[in-house]
Amino acid sequence: MKFKKSLEPILSGVSAAFVIGVLAFLTLETPAGIWLMFSFGATVFIVFVLYNLETAQPKNIFFGHLISIIIGVLFNEYFGLSFYTLGLSVGVAVTLMIYFKVMHPPAASNPLVALSMDLSFDFILFPVVVGCLMIIVLSFIINNKILKRKYPSKWF
């Protein structure tokens, strides 16, 4: 069943709410660890509204977030919070995402989160790796099975 165009904004919003709700439930209501971070809100916007763009593809989501949080944690561990580390860490993350062709704009905020929240290496696995994988799996299922969209347009 194909949905009317006028319903797409509502369905995209409900889909984004569902995915963030699942991650929030796992974070707040189970002993499973942290599955949610702020930049995931913008990520679900991209996968449910701009799902056909390069920045919405699984490779970009996963590796964009991974590169950016690693840079943020490294800056936090070795240099600490300052006006220049905030700027430089985002600049390095953006440069590496472009260089490796895994551009995902929401991930550019990860170094800011890592530095301002004093995060360490364990944050890379939970929530970044597991949260990204959950977003990718749920967006694949929702976009293809429920919304009847072709997503992703390419995996790698």
* Domain ranges within the chain, ordered by starting residue: 7-146
Q: What span, in angstroms and rounded, lies between the C-alpha atoms of 49 and 47?
A: 6
Q: How high is the pLDDT of residue 114?
A: 98
Q: How high is the pLDDT of residue 116?
A: 97
CA-wise closest residue to 155 among 65, 62, 93, 67: 62
Q: How high is the pLDDT of residue 1?
A: 61
The answer, yes or no, to whether residue 11 has pLDDT greater than 80, is: yes
At residue 9, φ and ψ (nearest 5 deg) are -60, -40
Section 124-134 average pLDDT:
97
pLDDT tens figures, 75-117: 999 999 999 999 999 999 999 999 999 999 999 999 999 999 9
Q: For residue 127, give both structure tokens.
A: 């929530």
